[in-house]
Structure 1
Amino acid sequence: MRPRVSFLLLALSLFALGAVLSLPRPGKEEAVRPVRAGALPEMGVVVAARDIDYCGYHTPCGPGSRTDTIFYLRLKGQEAKGVAIPRDLYSPVVGGKVNAAYGRGGAELLKRAVAEATGMVAERHLILTLESVARVVDAVGGVEVYLERPMRYTDRAAKLFIDFPAGRLHLNGEEAVKYMRFRHDALGDYARLDRIKEVVVQVLRKAQDPRTWPALVLALREAWAELDTDLSLEEVLGYLPALRGLKVSLATLPTREGPGTFLYVDEEARARFLAAFFGASPPAAPPEAPVVLRGEGALLRWGQALLEKEGVRPVLEEAEVAKSAVYTQDPLAGLYYAELFHLPLLAPHRPLAGVLVELGKDLLQ
């Protein structure tokens, strides 16, 4: 299984890298030199992306009032842990679906709705537009994805045309946004959130490389005016270098189906999952969970040797991998193997038995 992609880390890139915009414009010979202020501060940030409003056929009016992509991101030290909130989740404080919160009460109501859903404090907010996301993806050189089957969808009224072949693909910013908006498969919105997580991780990892910063600064100078945020550029400037070596974990809030098209928070599952996801430390010994190791050639053999040193005998799958990561719905097992391989942890919604470790050629870069 290949869980798919998240505006979350795109958002994190904007959050930290946007601080550079507060610097005086450098001269031609002067480089941007952020000042390191230490690890990231502890805070809960609601990161969301606004949809597009249309005035008529093929006539976009600009960013809409719905936020179909919503994440709760917890920053602390050298860790960023995020939980995706499904757009169809019923929110009592909103009196409807959580994706309507921003349109009804702005960022403050959205923060209240996210805090209600997660049971965690949401201090700050960062609301993106699709155009700003595309600019950031282009600034880091695009992203790579792997499709097991073609991805096709046409909405002529919205002028949205998605037509990607199966296989390994390199996507630019506009294409990546289409990839993240697609929800017309068996798992619908849940699969869309998985795709967003995948893209976000790639953008964040590329943003850790100082060589990408000049292009990102130029992109963000254009994009920052489109954002709705209570994070000042000066406030986050000193934490740009903290992106380097950042440990990233992304999951989806446990929910259950309800009447009509609503989803509801699964209270018992939420308490159990979030306590382990946000509060636990990596186990000292390998958890008892089956492990599948996927990759090619020397990378697969290296991963196998590393696991066998830990007393783990994985199931090996020789296959092409677009980007390396650890996938599991078991938070403790995920923490252990993400720490062992120094890889991002992604918890997909699609059922996944045990742990899947994917090793791609990006590890050699």
Structure 2
Amino acid sequence: MTRPSRLGRLRALQAFGLTLSCLSLGGFALLSGAGRTVASSVLPGTAPQFTVLIAGRDIVYCYYQQPCKDQDQRTGLVQPPNTDTVMLVKVDGARVRVLNIPRDTNVGEFDRGESVAAQKVNSQYFSGGPQALKQAVETITGERVDSYVIVRTDYVERVINALGGLDVTVPEGGIEWIDRAAGVNLQLDAGPHHLEGPDAVLFLRVRKGFGDDYGRIDHQKQALTQLAGRLKSAQGLAALPTILGGIGNGVETNADPNTLAALRPFLPGLKLSFATLPTDEIPGTFNLAVNRERLAALWGDAPAPVTDAPGVKVTVVDASGAGLGEGLKTALTALGYADVQVTVAPASQEASQVFTQQDVAQAGALADLLNLPRLQGERFPVAAGEVGVLLTRDAQENLKELAALAGTPLAADPRVADDTALPGPSPEPLPTTAPGSN
């Protein structure tokens, strides 16, 4: 098939910022170095290969709405410092994969003679510190964990504020999370919101309105991709002192700061993907058992095959504010995608992304083609055999060639031209074959 020459400039790279999305709330803090560290296994000049556990822990309270002076104490607490956000980040050459682990995942085989709560992954940090959490994640995933980064919610708040806050979309019905004992009062109407400070952190932690823990994980992924883009802007550079000042002030880690230094030369070519640990319910409990067969297909080192002729339906949600969805439909049709549907949504400041439920290989191919993050989760609104593409305002800069394909020249948008835009290297030409072809 001969393609129009204007397709040649479709691709726009985002890899630099996206690689940092999973690390922005902890990984950059490694560069300042502090305390005992684990020696880096990355050799100079070689492609980095390592894993890092990133977890978010609560602030501990000694009295009603009063944080303890010693945030590392384990006795006399109103509530334990659970880690309800747990991610395993795997860097393997040019690939960076992030596996989110649900808070209720059981560590090892379920033992009905033991405490149900004590067997959950989110309780391991309180009972045994970061080493116990590290070992639990190794048991759950079957992966060796090279190092850990544990961040407190107050550190996350400082980073989000330094990066200019979060632009989010609250689902229908809105959000109301009130817990006076914990000092929580989050009330948001349905629709777009710009959040900073405690509200931004609470939004990342809330489950009500998003279904369950899987829904919370999914909107955390979306928020992280947005923060990644800010790291490349002038605002992101100005935020580095806040990000780097975390160790001993909201961040604990045993990682070698040289690890990320070795990663820097590879950032422009890295590809990022998010996935959620597949699990099954354990009858009679709220605990979840790892589904190892599905995990191997999702997280295995052998890439899943992609068919020569893309057979998936592609649903494009055009929230770009510039009609770019029709341009993407034109491009994908030329590449062999037979079923591409476009729906228009209100313009969004969130991050553009490719999302799927179970068609991971096809979604990955499409994400690579467009240089967008791939998010997999249990609660994305796509069916089997369907892949979604969300185009938001950042596409006006990163995929601006789509405007010509849609026949609608792109007008200047000050909200894209400011410091929150995602500048990147010059676009590369599209491949001359459809994904998976020889």
TM-score range, shorter chain: 0.7 to 0.9
Alignment equivalent of 1:17, drawn from 13, 28, 51? 28
User: 1:283 offset after TM fit, Å?
Assistant: 3.3
What secondary structure is seen at the aligned counterpart in 1 of 2:310?
coil
- Does residue 326 of structure 2 align to residue 301 of structure 1? yes
CA distance, structure 1, for counterparts of residue 269 and residue 157 of structure 2: 24
How has the CA–CA distance of structure 1 residues 273 and 77 changed in structure 2, closer, same or farther, with 3 Å as cutoff?
A: closer
CA distance, structure 2, for counterparts of residue 194 and residue 335 of structure 1: 17
How has the CA–CA distance of structure 1 residues 50 and 236 changed in structure 2, closer, same or farther, with 3 Å as cutoff?
A: same
- Does residue 274 of structure 2 align to residue 274 of structure 1? no
User: 1:181 offset after TM fit, Å?
Assistant: 0.9
How has the CA–CA distance of structure 1 residues 162 and 239 changed in structure 2, closer, same or farther, with 3 Å as cutoff?
A: same
Alignment equivalent of 2:57, drawn from 21, 32, 50? 50
**Which residue matches 1:325?**
353
- Does residue 120 of structure 2 align to residue 97 of structure 1? yes
Native 8 Å contact 2:230 2:236 kept in 1: no
User: 1:298 offset after TM fit, Å?
Assistant: 2.9
Select the structure that is richer in strand. Answer: 1
User: 1:203 offset after TM fit, Å?
Assistant: 1.4
- Greater mean alpha carbon deviation, residues 125-134 or residues 314-323: 314-323
Instruction: Summarize deviations over 1:82-116 as a string: whole Å, max 9, x none.
Output: 11111111113896111111122222221221111
Identity %: 30
Instruction: Summarize deviations over 1:124-152 as a string: whole Å, max 9, x none.
Output: 11111111111222222222111232111
**Residue ranges of structure 1 left out of the alignment (5+ in a row):** 1-7, 23-36
User: 1:319 offset after TM fit, Å?
Assistant: 0.9
AA of the residue aligned to 2:102? P
- Does residue 48 of structure 2 align to residue 41 of structure 1? yes
CA distance, structure 1, for counterparts of residue 329 and residue 51 of structure 2: 37
Q: 1:1-365 maps to which residues of 2 (within 5 A)?
A: 12-21=23-32, 41-61=48-68, 62=71, 65-92=81-108, 96-149=119-172, 150-185=174-209, 187-207=211-231, 209=232, 211-225=234-248, 226-240=250-264, 242-244=266-268, 246-258=270-282, 259-275=284-300, 278-280=301-303, 283=306, 285-295=308-318, 296-312=321-337, 313-320=339-346, 321=348, 322-329=350-357, 330-350=359-379, 352-353=382-383, 354-363=386-395, 364=397, 365=421
Native 8 Å contact 1:145 1:323 kept in 2: no
How has the CA–CA distance of structure 1 residues 246 and 175 changed in structure 2, closer, same or farther, with 3 Å as cutoff?
A: farther
Native 8 Å contact 2:171 2:210 kept in 1: no
Select the structure that is richer in helix. Answer: 1
Q: How many residue pairs are counted as aligned between the two chains? A: 342
How has the CA–CA distance of structure 1 residues 282 and 180 changed in structure 2, closer, same or farther, with 3 Å as cutoff?
A: farther
TM-score w.r.t. the length of structure 2 is: 0.72
CA distance, structure 1, for counterparts of residue 21 and residue 156 of structure 2: 7
Native 8 Å contact 2:329 2:341 kept in 1: no
User: 1:234 offset after TM fit, Å?
Assistant: 4.1
CA distance, structure 1, for counterparts of residue 200 and residue 322 of structure 2: 29
Native 8 Å contact 2:210 2:216 kept in 1: no
How has the CA–CA distance of structure 1 residues 43 and 196 changed in structure 2, closer, same or farther, with 3 Å as cutoff?
A: same
- Greater mean alpha carbon deviation, residues 353-362 or residues 318-327: 318-327
How has the CA–CA distance of structure 1 residues 281 and 203 changed in structure 2, closer, same or farther, with 3 Å as cutoff?
A: farther
CA distance, structure 2, for counterparts of residue 14 and residue 41 of structure 1: 20
CA distance, structure 2, for counterparts of residue 325 and residue 317 of structure 1: 15
Native 8 Å contact 2:275 2:376 kept in 1: yes
Instruction: Summarize deviations over 1:254-284 as a string: whole Å, max 9, x none.
Output: 1111122211112322223222xx5316737
**Residue ranges of structure 2 left out of the alignment (5+ in a row):** 1-18, 34-43, 73-79, 110-116, 398-420, 422-438
User: 1:40 offset after TM fit, Å?
Assistant: 6.3
User: 1:75 offset after TM fit, Å?
Assistant: 1.1
CA distance, structure 1, for counterparts of residue 298 and residue 187 of structure 2: 36
What secondary structure is seen at the aligned counterpart in 2 of 1:326?
strand
User: 1:326 offset after TM fit, Å?
Assistant: 0.4
Native 8 Å contact 2:354 2:388 kept in 1: yes
TM-score w.r.t. the length of structure 1 is: 0.85
What secondary structure is seen at the aligned counterpart in 2 of 1:231?
coil
What secondary structure is seen at the aligned counterpart in 1 of 2:150?
strand
User: 1:238 offset after TM fit, Å?
Assistant: 4.6
Computing the radius of gyration from Cα coordinates, the structure with the larger value is: 2
User: 1:287 offset after TM fit, Å?
Assistant: 3.3
What secondary structure is seen at the aligned counterpart in 2 of 1:12?
coil
CA distance, structure 2, for counterparts of residue 65 and residue 9 of structure 1: 26
Native 8 Å contact 1:59 1:158 kept in 2: no
